[in-house]
Structure 1
Amino acid sequence: ETEELSDSGNGSLEDDEEDADRLLHYWQDVARGHQVEVAKEMSEPIQQLTSNNNGRSNREHIPFTLLSRKEKCGELLFEKRHYEKGHWASITMREETYEQSICYGFMRIMRYICQQNSLGDYLGMSLPIVTVVRTDENHSTIAQEVTVAYYLPTNHQAQPPQPHDRDIIIEIWPAAVVYTRPFTGPTNEFTIVDQINTMAELLESPGMCVNDSFIVAGYTNPAHSQRQNEIWFLERR
């Protein structure tokens, strides 16, 4: 749990400028590997997300009902879950690479979470942060357009704070049945295509799922090399 969206490299963080700078430099170093620039103005949002934040640092996991699990030799192959409808904040990015799109999209969502909203307050973190990817029908290439989305915590579901960023939209996502499979490591065009194809082989009838749009659910910050992720297939309605 401590790794979730902190990845600071030093465990606990004191709330002072030196730590904020060290944390910013850490993110900048990691992001540089993805050819992503982390602006100095991100220091405060990063600090808020990774510090105790006045005791409000609990990460709320998006609620779901587990419908079934499939295992083989003790290894989890996939889970079938039901997610209720809810408000999400999302932004669609079109950067040169998938990694750039998710990193820049995530940073803009972070700014919304941290203060750039109509409440002017920290909204709280929910996990996972999800990325909607679109593929060709052969699942061999990923479209440049990528959507990064954040589920509004329970106390903001009824009245979602409005974003200052006009590219971020607040919308209700309908209830859905989702097939999920965990995987660890970086998320890029190659690993995602591989995970989609692996999941399609595991499902007895992949035709019951949406075939050209998939979700990558991330439980750790998108710049981290050992990300805890899931691939999600949506059941057709």
Structure 2
Amino acid sequence: MDSGGCRLNGGGGGGESQGGGGSNSGMITLEDLESFSEDQLSDSGNGSLEEEGESMEDDDRDRLLHYWQDVARGHQVDVPGDMATPIQQLTSNNQGTHTRESVPYTLITRKEKCGDVIYEKRHYEKANWACITVHEDTYEQSICYGFMKIMRYICEQNASGNYLGMTIPIVTIVRTDETRSVLSQAVTVAYYLSTHHQAQPPQPYDPEIIIEEWPATIVYTRAFTGATNEITIINEIRTMAEMLDSPGICLNDSFIVAGYTNPAHANRQNEIWFLERP
């Protein structure tokens, strides 16, 4: 695994404090689970909860697993049966009192044209992220398999034995050739550890997941909507490069795709991030 490829690289900055904020159509992410309502997840009969509670829980777990398997099949991805429990745990926590924590940042400046935001320049403090680099045939397959491993880590398969909490955005680090026309098969899926776990990140059971401290970084970011796949990502990279006043100050072969909303939404919210050179 290319653990060194996970890190952000950049310098410091300052400005007004702000808070942080998907992927391809049908893609599996944390947000997919939030599309389920209690009615959709529950199909109980008229028996007492004491008698049927365990059966209902098993039924809900099976329904969620089958949903994920159906969605993933369209991307040639297999969701194993042992994902049933993490999927159910994440769904239950998302519907409870847990809230999603945004990755904090400071807004340095914003470029606008005719009232529209062209891009933002932000400063992200150093922070711990859980990263896994996957090398599948397609971007969709890599992000699916990588995210399932991250999910297991979030849902108790870590040294603390606790649910770690949901944060946004979930980001993927993508790499291109020198002409920015082809994406590398190496895709890194990264999860920001919540504030509660930043000081002492629980270690993952999965040896492929690496906890990394990313340095403070300057990011140039532009929002876009819709699906994320090899074609749309390359297009967004090219568009962002044209928008920047000085594209040469950024890394030219590593970029970040940040996803904020349910990929099942017709108007999914994403960002492309360019990283300032250190």
Question: Given that residues 34 and 95 in structure 2 are in contact (C-alpha distance below 8 angstroms), is that contact kept between their aligned partners in structure 1?
Answer: no
- Structure-2 residue corresponding to 1:174: 215
Q: How far off is 1:219 after superposition?
A: 1.8
- Structure-1 residue corresponding to 2:170: 129
Aligned residue type for 2:202: P
Query: Which structure 2 segments of 5+ residues have no match?
Result: 1-20, 22-28, 43-55
Among 52, 71, 77, the alignment partner of 2:118 is 77
- Structure-1 residue corresponding to 2:228: 187
Question: Given that residues 103 and 222 in structure 1 are in contact (C-alpha distance below 8 angstroms), is that contact kept between their aligned partners in structure 2?
Answer: no
TM-score (norm 2): 0.78
Among 90, 94, 102, the alignment partner of 1:49 is 90
Higher relative CO (CA 8 A, sep ≥ 6), structure 1 or 2? 2
User: CA 1:31–1:73 in structure 2 vs 1: closer, same or farther (change >3 Å)?
Assistant: farther
Question: Given that residues 7 and 220 in structure 1 are in contact (C-alpha distance below 8 angstroms), is that contact kept between their aligned partners in structure 2?
Answer: no
Query: Which structure 1 segments of 5+ residues have no match?
Result: none
Question: Given that residues 186 and 224 in structure 1 are in contact (C-alpha distance below 8 angstroms), is that contact kept between their aligned partners in structure 2?
Answer: no
Tell me which moved more, 188-197 or 29-38. Answer: 29-38
- Structure-1 residue corresponding to 2:243: 202
How many correspondences in the alignment?
Answer: 236
Provide the identity percentage.
Answer: 67
Tell me which moved more, 153-162 or 222-231. Answer: 222-231
1:86 equivalent to 2:86? Answer no
Q: How far off is 1:186 after superposition?
A: 1.9
Q: How far off is 1:101 after superposition?
A: 0.3
Question: Given that residues 33 and 90 in structure 2 are in contact (C-alpha distance below 8 angstroms), is that contact kept between their aligned partners in structure 1?
Answer: no
- Structure-2 residue corresponding to 1:216: 257
User: CA 1:8–1:128 in structure 2 vs 1: closer, same or farther (change >3 Å)?
Assistant: closer
Q: 2: distance between equivalents of 1:7 and 1:23? A: 8
Q: How far off is 1:52 after superposition?
A: 3.5
Q: In the TM superposition, what whole-angstrom CA distance separates every residue of 1:90-140 from its partner, at most 9, and x where no partner exists? A: 001001111100110011001001011001110111111111111111110
Q: 2: distance between equivalents of 1:58 and 1:150? A: 15
Among 65, 68, 82, the alignment partner of 1:24 is 65
Q: 1: distance between equivalents of 2:63 and 2:32? A: 13
Q: How far off is 1:61 after superposition?
A: 0.3
TM-score (norm 1): 0.91
Point out the structure with the larger helix share.
Answer: 2
